[in-house]
């Protein structure tokens, strides 16, 4: 039998640690047991698709970062990615940011 190790676990651990969370804290934030988080991080199994969004919110990362998917050719710095993530997370601030940056509704198309 071939043993498969899922690589998302190392990214979950990485982002969890830089956010200063232990496995139990992350598990509580997303409503799973800490043994599930441990299994993901060890590469025993991987989170279901419906958990990915919760993980992204809890770890404050985008799905492409968590899944290590290159969705565009743009070469963004870590700071630029964080700015985009925060922009998306703070809907109430978007109009003010858009005004500062000179972005109009016409540009959204």
Query: pLDDT band at residue 1, thresholds of 50, 70 and 90?
Result: very low
Alpha-helical regions (H) of 3-93: 8-18, 23-30, 34-42, 49-59, 63-67, 78-89
Every domain of the chain with CATH number 1.10.260.40 lies at 1-71
Architecture category of domain 1-71 in CATH: Orthogonal Bundle (1.10)
Query: pLDDT band at residue 107, thresholds of 50, 70 and 90?
Result: very low
Render pLDDT for 4-62 as a digit per residue (tens, 0 to 9).
Answer: 556 899 999 999 999 999 999 999 999 999 999 999 999 999 999 889 999 999 999 98
Cβ atoms of 40 and 4 within 8 Å: the answer is no
Whole-model pTM: value is 0.62
pLDDT at position 91 is 83
Any residues with CB less than 8 A from the CB of 82 and at least 6 apart, and which?
Answer: none
């Amino acid at each position: 039998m071939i043993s498969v190790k899922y690589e998302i676990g190392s990214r979950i651990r990485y982002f969890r640690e830089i956010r200063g969370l232990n496995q139990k804290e992350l598990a509580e934030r997303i409503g799973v047991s800490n043994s599930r988080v441990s299994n993901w991080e060890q590469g025993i199994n991987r989170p279901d698709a419906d958990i990915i969004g919760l993980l992204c919110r809890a770890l404050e990362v985008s799905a492409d970062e968590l899944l290590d998917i290159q969705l565009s050719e743009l070469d963004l710095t870590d700071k630029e990615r964080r700015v985009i993530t925060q922009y998306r997370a703070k809907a109430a601030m978007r109009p003010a940011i858009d005004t500062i940056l000179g972005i109009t509704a016409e540009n959204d198309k």
